[in-house]
Amino acid sequence: MKLPHGLSEHDLLRRLDRFQIETPSWAYADTGTRFGKFLQDAAAVTIDDKLADAAAVHRVTGCCPTFAVHVLWDFTAAADPAIVAAKAAALGLGIGSINPNTFQDQCYKLGSVTNRDPAIRRRAIDHILACISLGSRVGSNILSLWFADGTNYPGQGHIRQRKRWIADALHEVHRALPDAMSMLVEYKPFEPAFYHTDIADWGMACAFARHAGPRAKVLVDLGHHLHGCNVEHIVAFLIDEGLLGGFHFNDRKYADDDLVAGSLDPFQLFRIFHEIVLAERETGADLPIAYMIDQSECIKPKAESMIETVMTIQEQFTKALLVDHRAAAAARERDDIVMAGRALKDAFATDVRPFLADYRAARNLPRDPLDAFRQSGHLARAAAERAPRKPRNSGSYA
């Protein structure tokens, strides 16, 4: 495998060693479309099941040491967060991002932090503040925020007033952050609100993050963009503004489809990583980006789809490391568009799978994580143990 000018094999290996990807608890449980769930016998039922699956993924990939949790889904009122963190640690995992839930309860039908009722706004903010406290107890350093707030009809809400309510809420939340914790603000152009979404794009997320404070950054979900959107342009812009905080990896055809990352457009994933690697080469340091997966597979086996995503992300990141930036820069100086583009295409066309197999073997990891997972029998054991605990014929949301 040809290395570009200025990149030694030692540097390449060390950068891969530092590259970590967080898997989410909800990726391992039964999920579905808005019309119904599709049950899998091996899908997780409890937080213990989810931890076991995440640990199995980490064992075969070696790069997924943290586990994102969704408060209300993963922590019941009676659960002790410290016990969950201890169970995770016993499996070789740490608790990663904390995800509040301000969309599930009936009171949030017309909004959470944008609700016209001040008592409901207060309830939502207090829940987020409680999540910060919970995060401190389990060792998390990231508060990940997504709001379903929006309206379905013109005139339903006062848009500028709602904007100010969000800004005030995020500012209060930022003041409560411990020194070691940052907050990521996610955006989504539509769904579940159909007329307007209160944080609809990356520019709005930037404005809210800046207003909140210096430890607020923007979270880019690869599924949350309009058709034709140039996501790598957004990534480059956020990097230059110092506001790129993290990613939610998945893939999409129409909207937030939550498909295996890179399954539809691996070149886009490569182009995004190219912008990150280019910035890291220019600064000489890793960017402080939280690489997280937000995937809720309906059809494929849960843990296997997670391993596929992790392997794809690793492959495209490795290809981005192989771009000959000196050649590309020289071509740009000559306005040689063909050769500047070829520097990217050559790296993307490189088959890095044999190199990554050797890389894993050198670290006592399986050369093929997916094959090793299948050989382990984890899915069959999980199905045998979990299926009897699941209610039958419960695939409908009705």
| pLDDT score recorded for residue 78 | 67
Query: pLDDT tens digits for 77-96?
Result: 767 899 999 999 999 999 99
**The dihedral sign for the CA sequence 107, 113, 114, 115:** positive
| Cα atoms in the Cβ-side hemisphere of radius 13 Å centred on 227 | 2
Least confident of 100-109, 228-237, 256-265, 305-314: 256-265
User: Does residue 347 contact residue 324 with C-beta atoms inside 8 Å?
Assistant: yes
Q: How far apart are CA 200 and CA 180, in angstroms?
A: 28
User: Does residue 294 contact residue 221 with C-beta atoms inside 8 Å?
Assistant: yes
pLDDT at residue 398 greater than cutoff 70: no
- Around Cβ 98, how many Cβ atoms within 10 Å? 28
Q: How far apart are CA 140 and CA 69, in angstroms?
A: 10
Mean per-residue pLDDT for 25-37? 86
Within 242-352, where are the H helices? 266-283, 302-321, 325-333, 337-348
User: Does residue 225 contact residue 231 with C-beta atoms inside 8 Å?
Assistant: yes
pLDDT at residue 180 greater than cutoff 50: yes
Mean pLDDT of the chain: 95
Mean per-residue pLDDT for 95-111? 97
77's CB contacts (< 8 A; 6+ apart) are none
Query: pLDDT tens digits for 142-178?
Result: 999 999 999 999 999 999 999 999 999 999 999 999 9
Give the pLDDT band of residue 251 (cuts 50, 70, 90): very high
| pLDDT score recorded for residue 322 | 98
- Greater confidence (181 vs 33) lies with 181
Query: pLDDT tens digits for 280-291?
Result: 999 999 999 999
| Fold (topology level) of 20-323 | TIM Barrel (3.20.20)
Residue ranges of the domains in the chain?
Answer: 20-323
Within 179-265, where are the H helices? 202-212, 231-241
234's CB contacts (< 8 A; 6+ apart) are 202, 220, 225
| pLDDT score recorded for residue 394 | 54
Give the pLDDT band of residue 31 (cuts 50, 70, 90): confident
Backbone φ, ψ for residue 290 (5° rounding): -90, 115
Residue type, 148: A
Total-model pTM: 0.96
